[in-house]
């Protein structure tokens, strides 16, 4: 297991002896991914200058997608919310975006619970790009980045009607446990790489899952 050299400031050591610095943009997390349609899109960490892009992304979401993400009617993001969502430290708080040309089409993020190795994970995909595998790509890349930063467990809350998000978790290869209460599902799973996650990724990238 990776260990934090300093829980909330400075540097974080990784198993490969590389050093992660809070606030330093991790360009190594950037990659191109192929949609099920064959189109190539780009995945990268969010940046502070994505404020306008994130605002436009949110405005393109349907009311149903917004409700599934925020559990409320939330048609617009405030200036303060946009600042919080685009300004991350890339270690305890990390967000990844997927863009098609210059437009954001999906956003995923994790946020570590203070003084733990657990983190809450969430993601949302623009309606016209749903069911193309973007949720799987976000979860895979978030989990890999989080594991390298000392996070060992992902937690999430979603509505029982959010079958797409639950499908992403259930087909990830991670061993997911869940509880249901008042119309909401709480999930928890270790993000330690294992043989099942490797198989799931190979099948998904080969187009058989």
> What CATH number belongs to 11-151?
3.40.630.30
Q: Which two tokens stand for residue 65?
A: 């997608």
pLDDT over 90 (residue 204): no
Q: How many CB atoms lie within 10 A of CB 42?
A: 14
Pseudo-torsion of CA 124, 129, 132, 138, nearest 10°? Answer: -30
Report pLDDT for 11: 55
The DSSP 8-state label assigned to residue 50 in this structure reads G
Of the candidates 110, 104, 17, 126, which has an alpha carbon nearest to the alpha carbon of residue 53?
104
Let me know how long the chain is.
209
State pLDDT tens for residues 63-89.
999 988 888 888 799 999 999 999 999
pLDDT 10s digits, 111-170: 999 999 999 999 999 999 999 999 999 999 999 999 999 999 999 999 999 999 999 999
- Are 176 and 188 contacting, i.e. CB atoms less than 8 angstroms apart? yes
Say what percent of the chain tops pLDDT 70. Answer: 89
Distances in whole angstroms, Cα of residue 156 to Cα of each of 46, 101, 159, 197: 20, 30, 10, 18
């Amino acid at each position: 297991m990776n260990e934090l050299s300093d829980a909330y400031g400075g540097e974080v050591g990784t198993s490969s002896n590389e050093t992660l610095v809070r606030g330093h943009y991790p360009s190594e997390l950037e990659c191109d991914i192929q949609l099920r349609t064959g189109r190539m899109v780009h995945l990268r960490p969010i940046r502070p200058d994505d404020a306008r892009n994130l605002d436009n992304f949110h405005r393109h979401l349907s009311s149903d997608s917004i409700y599934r993400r925020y559990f409320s009617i939330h048609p617009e993001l405030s200036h303060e919310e946009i600042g919080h969502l685009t300004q991350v430290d890339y270690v305890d708080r990390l967000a990844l975006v997927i863009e098609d040309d210059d437009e954001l089409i999906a956003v995923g993020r994790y946020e570590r619970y203070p003084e733990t190795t657990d983190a809450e994970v969430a993601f949302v995909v623009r309606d016209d790009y749903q069911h193309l595998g973007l949720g799987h790509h976000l979860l895979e890349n978030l989990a890999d980045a989080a594991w390298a930063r000392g996070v060992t467990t992902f937690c999430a809350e979603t509505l029982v009607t959010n079958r797409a998000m639950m499908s992403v978790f259930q087909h990830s290869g991670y061993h997911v446990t869940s509880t249901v209460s008042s119309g909401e599902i709480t999930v928890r799973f270790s993000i330690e790489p294992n043989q099942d996650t490797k198989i799931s990724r190979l099948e998904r990238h080969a187009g058989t899952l």
